Amino acid sequence: MKSELSGGWPAVARDLLAALARGELSSVELTERCLAAIDARDGDVRAFLHVDRESALLQAQQADALRARGESPGPLAGVPVAIKDVICEAGQPATCASRMLSNFRPPYDAHVITKLKAAGAVLLGRTNMDEFAMGSSCENSAFQATRNPWDLTRTPGGSSGGSAAAVAAAMVPLSLGSDTGGSIRQPASFCGVVGMKPTYGAVSRYGLIAYASSLDQIGPFATDVEGAARLLEAISGHDPRDSTSVRRDVPAYSRTFDQPLEGLRIGVVREHFGEGLDADVASAVQAALKVYEGLGATLVDVALPHQQSCVAAYYIIASCEASSNLARYDGVHYGHRAESFDGLVDMYSTSRGEAFGDEVKRRIMLGTFALSSGYYEAYYLKALRVRRLIQQDYQRAFEACDVIVSPASPTPAFALGSLIDDPLAMYLMDIYTIGANLAGIPGISLPCGMTSAALPVGLQLLAPAFEEERLLRAARMYERETNWPRVAPCGA
């Protein structure tokens, strides 16, 4: 079942900003509408772990006061934004959906939070996720399983499932997630929204609680490409506190996204359309390619010879980095400490055993094994070498094309509980998205159709490093020709 967003309150950032600028809507009224939508829908969807109503309304009041005095409240001008619960905000919970950090409230803001506040955004609440961002279904949360607004029996994807579902259900117009191997793009595909992973180093990771430090990136969710462009522009830029943050000027994404690209060359990897791809997904993506051809784009066959090694390389590298990053949660410095234990070693093992979920334990053990004496070269070092080959594959492919187009996920949203006991099948849900993280390039997922079961299908576009502007323009070319951004789950 589908309904037009235009039939209710506008959930598109452009419309909201225009209404705010004209005085037809105040930030307080908009925030109250979002809070009312959360009250009405989140009991079923379960996208939020925490909503701070008082703080959100106070921020909205401040934005209205600035506007009343004739001062600019910022480019996001009092628009509510939801935050994945892996990004630190002073005084707000940052649990990573884990018992390990169930009582943690950071004393500082992540760089992206500082940027959002400066842009005038209203920070509405914290969204659910797979524990420590490890998962593809939002079922690994220690607190609740988020449900897909299109079908409450299905997953919204992961790990940023709460952020995607909150936007899809029109509880908030914009949200932030993090993407380590597809954790923004896959939920965006499942929930029928736009989700974007920036180039590694384009957005500061300061204040992002680490899973795999060489892969993690913060990025936007929105109902359309323009919303993603505006949010990306607000959070991008150099941060000296993050050694991987690149010193580059931030392009005016919000002003250039609507300019079509002439002579666009679209790379198509034939291996992306082989075994394991759902027929409805394949049909929707092929139809999207025909739309691009109708706009004058040229389809080019490109090869990614090491694509079949992406999943293996990713899960070794990511698990090794997780093993190292999560070693700090020992019950001594901070985090959960067991009430009963026998000596120091037992305190470590009991505290970690009680507080970490099964998937986090699985990846810690895998990473610790791969880093152990005698196995480092056979696993971790070899995975790093394969990663370099994957990066080179993308570099060569982009010599022949401007963007690469593929499905964002091999299937539409799957049933809750259907893959939770099959880790390998769950890992393969990221088969089309992992490569971008290993190569450090930007990617975006946007709606491109519906399955016969009325579930959204996501189209993934990839571009060379720091070509977000090209990526957004290419995505907008397709979006302009379709009605998908204006379609939402019934009741949203």
Assess if residue 84 is contained within a domain: yes
Q: How confident is the model at residue 1 (pLDDT cuts 50, 70, 90)?
A: very low
Instruction: Identify the H or E element spanning 313.
Output: helix 310-325
Query: How many domains would you assign to the chain?
Result: 1
Calculate ∠ Cα 383-389-395, nearest 5°: 140
User: Phi and psi at residue 244, in whole multiples of 5°?
Assistant: -95, 0
**Cα–Cα dist 85/162, whole Å:** 9
| pLDDT tens per residue across span 389-443 | 999 999 999 999 999 999 999 999 999 999 999 999 999 999 999 999 999 999 9
Assess if residue 117 is contained within a domain: yes
| pLDDT tens per residue across span 354-390 | 999 999 999 999 999 999 988 999 999 999 999 999 9
Flag whether pLDDT at 11 surpasses 80. no
Query: How many angstroms separate the Cα of 38 from the Cα of each of 47, 106, 114, 331, 482?
Result: 9, 24, 25, 35, 28
pLDDT value of position 271: 85
pLDDT value of position 486: 60
| pLDDT tens per residue across span 203-252 | 999 999 999 999 999 999 999 999 999 999 999 999 999 999 999 999 99
Q: How confident is the model at residue 160 (pLDDT cuts 50, 70, 90)?
A: very high
Instruction: Identify the H or E element spanning 21.
Output: helix 13-22
| Structural domain span for residue 479 | 2-260+474-489
pLDDT value of position 485: 62
User: Phi and psi at residue 254, in whole multiples of 5°?
Assistant: -70, -15
Q: How confident is the model at residue 8 (pLDDT cuts 50, 70, 90)?
A: very low
Flag whether pLDDT at 491 surpasses 60. no
- Extended strands (E) in 296-442: 298-301, 403-407
Assess if residue 351 is contained within a domain: no
Assess if residue 481 is contained within a domain: yes
Flag whether pLDDT at 52 surpasses 90. yes
Residue 213 is among the residues annotated as catalytic for this protein: no
The residue from 26, 98, 136, 159 that is catalytic is 159
Cβ count near 328 (within 10 Å): 11
Give me the helices (H) in 46-158, please.
53-68, 111-118
The residue from 27, 84, 136, 163 that is catalytic is 84
Average the pLDDT over 286-290 and give the result: 98
Close Cβ partners of 356 (under 8 Å, ≥ 6 residues apart): 98, 99, 100, 131, 326, 329, 364
Flag whether pLDDT at 172 surpasses 70. yes
pLDDT value of position 487: 58
Q: What is the rounded average pLDDT for all residues in the chain?
A: 95
pLDDT value of position 456: 96
**Cα–Cα dist 112/119, whole Å:** 10
**Distance, CA of 422 to chain centre:** 23
**Cα–Cα dist 467/244, whole Å:** 17
Calculate ∠ Cα 44-155-209, nearest 5°: 95
Assess if residue 326 is contained within a domain: no
Flag whether pLDDT at 196 surpasses 80. yes
User: Phi and psi at residue 431, in whole multiples of 5°?
Assistant: -60, -30
The residue from 163, 183, 189, 245 that is catalytic is 183
Average the pLDDT over 121-131 and give the result: 98
pLDDT value of position 10: 58
**Cα–Cα dist 190/411, whole Å:** 9
Q: What is the pTM of this model?
A: 0.96
Closest by CA to 103, choosing from 280, 329, 320, 388, is: 329
pLDDT value of position 2: 35
**Cα–Cα dist 423/463, whole Å:** 29
Residue 159 is among the residues annotated as catalytic for this protein: yes
Q: Are strands 298-301 and 265-268 parallel, antiparallel or unpaired?
A: parallel
Assess if residue 249 is contained within a domain: yes
Assess if residue 344 is contained within a domain: no
Give me the helices (H) in 337-381, please.
344-355, 358-371
Most confidently predicted of 4-8, 70-74, 174-178: 174-178
Flag whether pLDDT at 104 surpasses 80. yes
Residue 137 is among the residues annotated as catalytic for this protein: no
Which CATH number is 103's domain given? 3.90.1300.10
Tokens of 116: 């959002």
**Cα–Cα dist 294/297, whole Å:** 7
Closest by CA to 274, choosing from 428, 137, 78, is: 428
In percent, the amount of the chain with pLDDT more than 90 equals 92
Assess if residue 283 is contained within a domain: no
Is the N-terminal amide bond of 254 cis, ω within 30° of 0?
Answer: no
Q: How does DSSP assign 430-476, residue by residue?
A: GTTTHHHHHHT--EEEEEEEE-TTS-EEEEEEE-STT-HHHHHHHHH
Query: How many angstroms separate the Cα of 262 from the Cα of each of 170, 417, 476?
Result: 34, 45, 13
DSSP 209: P
Q: Note whether 151 and 163 are within 8 A (CB).
A: no
pLDDT value of position 274: 86
